[in-house]
């Protein structure tokens, strides 16, 4: 578990008592008890309060806060406060201020406003972490350290330019190697001196945020900035560990946030935590996929739901209220997919600035007589009831989808073939198909051990890094099924094309080669026409965005294109390789095709649905000590009946036995522990 001091699903969230007076604190204590709050995240944005000048530190307010919370039965997730620097620091040390994408030097303001390569920022952030760790190392209230907050944002200042050149020296060793990797003979870009290299922004190689003349330098700058921010995290983490080696350390991630390679970050975190803010109309399978990704960052280890809103957000175009029951439903969705905490931003709603309209457990009215508070308090009671039954429970998925940030950067920076190609959306299409079939699915990185799965899917694996193709071949040869798609195997880790025909190093295992890639206009489609029925696949399906014009060289042609000049050429193939199979999906097909394909492949491996629930009802399984717990989550506006087959379950929330059929109310949740199997 995250920390044995609190052996249950943690319940709480961000708390900013520094914004309030003593009378409000007393009311907070009372209301926290009513709501069942047992963890408060404090000190997230208090750097200016903690350090009013270069040599002075004030922690008395924080002492009082942590002591008061602990006396009231509330533990703390203690943040380091370094997410936004103080005004005096910006005035005295301008090197701390970022330079934006357009080359403009920022003034003081906002947050995420510190240059990650500023010596000033690193010095004072590290010092702050050390002061806090030394002061609170023995305080019994401290469960976990929370470094900074929602890291993100790139900088293009002179400090970053110098650090980038040093980073490149370490990566490449010589300018000759760099010039080769970046293909700098194109457009007379050969570098003669390390000082010739400038940051790629709107003043040099890039425009529009993701369009670039040179993919090599832009790709490396994203790697460098992700590494730079990670170094800042590690500096604080190491200071914390110096004083408190046994207290876990985390920082809150943001799902599919594009700028940071979270697989690399997760290696440096004791536990992954993240902030979940879907819109009211976000497909619930997309939220599920993001939870699965957070679980997958550390090989299936449970994660922390660090933030969600109990009611409304403040920063989306339309900040709809969560309907009755939805907060509870989405909280349990996180738990179902691996969260061992349920936490909010925020516990009490602020009265000023940009987050005053962001929802909270305690609303502006200030008392417990609100719908939101009642729902929060009811959930708090249920989490107390569940105790430690779900802690450390894992997924038992036999299907995995690969996601890779560097592959995403490469696709987004690519000059063509279509503006409609969106890596995250293509990945979600495959996850959604499996989710609708109620097939347990993991999200994994390219370095993950593949042999724990029966089926591994790598949609749009544009960038194939060293060793990946060989690992796929070994996985398939031992009996696994590998699925990849159009626009895969195109380039290496430097974004240089792998010659010899697409899909490059995946050509051997897939048994095909592609000679062309056709980009379809938004209103155009082709068809994937089955040669004959195959499993659940039959007839014809629409496809679009991109169409690879491929040739089979050993692979069986399962479907052909139905129109255009490549009519009759393969659009779906499967290649027997050793004891396993590799499928190649040559276009982006409609959802019906992906469900039929996934069902066909899962049937071949005997992979069954968690439960055969109706559309709109999500089923997820966690396993602990060999004991299965199944979550049934009704995302629809109608009650649902879910068949249970021949198993007997007990509902952990009601204590009632469940047989034959489980009735789930509107936005309702059932948490079912299997007791036995009956004979009918």
Question: What are 198-256's pLDDT values in tens digits?
Answer: 999 999 999 998 999 999 999 999 999 999 999 999 999 999 999 999 999 999 999 99
**Residue whose structure tokens are 């027997």:** 576
Report the chain's C-alpha Rg in angstroms.
26
**Nearest CA-CA partner of 420 in 460, 464, 463:** 460
- Give pLDDT, residue 676: 74
**Chain-centre distance for alpha carbon 443:** 9
Pairing of strands 441-444, 481-485: unpaired
DSSP assignment of 33-86 = HHHT--EEEE-TT-HHHH-SBTTB---HHHHHHHHHHHHTT-EEEEE--TTS--
Residue 581, token pair as written in the block: 């199979």
Helix (H, G, I), strand (E, B) or coil at 551: strand
Q: How far apart are CA 390 and CA 383, in angstroms?
A: 10
* Active site members: 150, 307
Q: With b meaning 16 or more CB within 10 Å and e meaning fewer, what string describes 515-553?
A: eebbebeeeebbbbbbeeebeebeeebbbbbbbbbbebe
Q: Answer whether 464's CB lies under 8 Å from 497's CB.
A: no
Helices in 482-534 by DSSP H: which ranges? 507-510
Strand blocks (E) in 176-283: 206-207, 211-212, 249-250, 252-253, 273-275
Distance CA 12, CA 34 (A): 12
Pull the structure tokens for residue 396.
């038992």
Element (H, E) at 482: strand 481-485
Residue 490 CB neighbour total at 10 angstroms: 25
Tokens of 629: 């717990």
What does the chain come to in residues? Answer: 680
List of residues 6+ apart from 74 with CB closer than 8 A: 12, 32, 37, 38, 39, 40, 141
What the block records as the tokens of 474 is: 């070994």
In the 8-state DSSP scheme, what is residue 645? E
Q: Is 407 helix (H, G, I), strand (E, B) or coil?
A: helix
What phi and psi values does residue 660 have, to the nearest 5 degrees?
A: 65, -60
pLDDT of residue 678: 61
Beta bridge partners of 650: 657, 673
Residue 253 · residue 296 · CB < 8 Å: no
Is residue 516 within 8 Å of 620, Cβ to Cβ? no
Chain-centre distance for alpha carbon 389: 25
Q: Which residue has the tokens 């920390």?
A: 3
Q: What pLDDT is stored for residue 111 in this prediction?
A: 87
In angstroms, the CA 531 to CA 544 distance is 19
In this prediction, the residues of the chain whose per-residue pLDDT falls under 50 are 680
319 CB-near residues (< 8 Å, 6+ apart): 312, 313, 357
């Amino acid at each position: 578990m995250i920390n044995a001091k609190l052996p249950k699903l943690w319940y709480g969230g961000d708390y900013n008592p520094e914004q309030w007076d003593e009378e409000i604190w007393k009311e907070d204590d009372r209301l926290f008890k009513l709501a069942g709050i047992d963890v408060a995240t404090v000190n997230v944005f208090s750097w200016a309060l903690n350090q009013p000048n270069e040599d002075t530190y004030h922690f008395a307010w924080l002492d009082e806060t942590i002591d008061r919370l602990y006396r009231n039965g509330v533990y703390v997730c203690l943040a380091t406060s370094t997410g936004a620097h103080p005004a005096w620091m910006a005035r005295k040390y301008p090197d701390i201020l970022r330079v934006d994408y357009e080359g403009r030097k920022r003034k003081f303001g906002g947050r995420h406003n510190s240059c990650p390569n500023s010596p000033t920022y690193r010095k004072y952030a590290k010092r702050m972490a050390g002061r806090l760790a030394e002061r609170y190392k023995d305080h019994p209230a401290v469960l976990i350290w929370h470094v900074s907050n929602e890291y993100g944002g790139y900088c293009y200042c002179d400090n970053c330019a110098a650090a980038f050149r040093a980073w490149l020296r370490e990566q490449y060793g010589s300018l000759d190697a760099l010039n080769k990797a970046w293909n700098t003979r194109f457009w007379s870009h050969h570098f003669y001196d390390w000082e010739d290299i400038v940051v790629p922004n709107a003043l040099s190689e890039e425009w529009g945020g993701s369009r670039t003349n040179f993919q090599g330098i832009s790709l490396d700058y994203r790697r460098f900035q992700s590494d730079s921010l990670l170094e800042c995290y590690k500096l604080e983490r190491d200071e914390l560990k110096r004083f408190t080696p046994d207290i876990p350390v985390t920082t809150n991630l943001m799902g599919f946030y594009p700028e940071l390679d979270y697989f690399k970050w997760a290696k440096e975190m004791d536990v992954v935590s993240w902030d979940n803010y879907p819109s009211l109309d976000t497909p619930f399978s997309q939220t599920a996929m993001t939870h699965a990704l957070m679980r997958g960052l550390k090989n299936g280890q449970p994660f922390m739901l660090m933030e969600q809103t109990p009611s409304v957000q403040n920063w989306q175009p339309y900040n709809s209220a969560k309907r009755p029951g939805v907060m509870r439903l989405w909280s349990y969705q996180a738990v179902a997919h691996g969260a061992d905490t349920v936490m909010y931003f925020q516990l009490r709603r602020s009265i000023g600035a940009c987050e005053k309209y962001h929802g909270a457990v305690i609303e502006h009215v200030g008392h417990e007589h609100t719908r939101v508070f009642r729902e929060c308090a009811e959930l708090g009671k249920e989490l107390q009831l569940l105790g430690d039954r779900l802690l450390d429970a894992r997924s038992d998925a036999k299907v995995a989808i690969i996601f890779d940030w560097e592959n995403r950067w490469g696709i987004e920076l690519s000059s063509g073939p279509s503006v409609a190609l969106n890596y995250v959306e293509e990945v979600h299409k495959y996850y959604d198909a499996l989710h609708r079939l109620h097939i347990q699915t993991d999200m994994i990185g390219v370095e993950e051990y593949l042999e724990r799965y029966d089926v591994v899917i790598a949609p749009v694996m544009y960038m194939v890094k060293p060793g990946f193709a060989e690992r796929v071949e070994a996985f398939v040869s031992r009996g696994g099924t590998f699925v990849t798609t159009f626009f895969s195997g195109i380039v290496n880790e430097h974004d240089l094309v792998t010659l010899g025909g697409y899909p490059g190093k995946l050509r051997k295992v897939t048994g095909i080669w592609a000679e062309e890639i056709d980009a379809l206009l938004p209103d155009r489609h082709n068809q994937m026409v089955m040669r004959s029925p195959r499993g659940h696949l039959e007839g014809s399906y629409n496809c679009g965005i991109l169409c690879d014009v491929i040739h089979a060289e050993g692979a069986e042609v399962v479907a052909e294109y139905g129109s255009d000049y490549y009519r009759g050429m393969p659009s779906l193939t499967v290649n027997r390789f050793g004891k396993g199979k590799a499928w190649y999906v040559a276009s982006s097909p409609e959802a019906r095709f992906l469900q039929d394909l996934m069902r066909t492949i899962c049937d071949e491996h005997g992979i069954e649905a968690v439960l055969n629930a109706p559309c709109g009802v999500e089923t997820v399984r966690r396993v602990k000590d060999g004991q299965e717990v199944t979550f049934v989550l009704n995302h629809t506006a109608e009650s649902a009946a879910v068949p249970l087959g021949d198993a007997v379950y007990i509902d952990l929330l009601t204590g009632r036995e469940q047989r034959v059929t489980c009735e789930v109310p509107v936005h309702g949740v059932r948490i079912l522990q299997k007791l036995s199997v009956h004979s009918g």
